[in-house]
Amino acid sequence: MKMKSVVIRTTDIQKSIAFYEKVLGFSFDSMISAAPGKQIAFLSDKNGGGSIELLYNERGKSISCGSISLTFSVDQIGETEKYLAANGVRIISPPRTIKDGKKILTAVDPNGVELDFIEE
């Protein structure tokens, strides 16, 4: 089994596309209209090989992110914190050291999805 992508439901697809492109460096691949009032944007991480599908449904109810989080590996946690703050990303847990000496920072995307950045 191999995971293909992560789907994130959004109430503002353009804002979400801009965030993943400009802040996290994903590449916009395409967008389809799956049905009236329903759009899916496809973005990929050319460096890591992962992909994200942003799903917008104008008739959708409020979004609950539950316990979903995305994890990114970074070279320097302090620089990542500065970069995220400069781009207006809400940091919910500043850098801290966890077991094995790894450092982690937690932020959220425009949809409330938790983003963990780990310096290993």
What is the CATH classification number for the domain harbouring 88? Answer: 3.10.180.10
Q: What's the pLDDT band for 64 if we cut at 50, 70, 90? A: low
Classify residue 102: in a domain, yes or no. Answer: yes
| Residue 22 pLDDT > 90 | yes
Classify residue 63: in a domain, yes or no. Answer: no
Comparison of pLDDT for 65 and 50, the residue scoring more: 50
Percent of the chain topping pLDDT 70: 90
- Considering the domain architecture, whether residues 35 and 74 belong to the same structural domain is answered as no
* Tokens at 82, concatenated: 């500065």
Q: What mean pLDDT is predicted for residues 52-76?
A: 80
**13 neighbors 30 (Cβ within 8 angstroms):** no
Domain span at residue 105 reads: 68-120
**70 neighbors 115 (Cβ within 8 angstroms):** yes
| Residue 39 pLDDT > 60 | yes
| Backbone conformation region of residue 49, classed left if phi is above 0, alpha if psi is from -120 to 50, else beta | left
Compute the distance between CA of residue 69 and CA of residue 66 in angstroms, rounded to an integer: 9
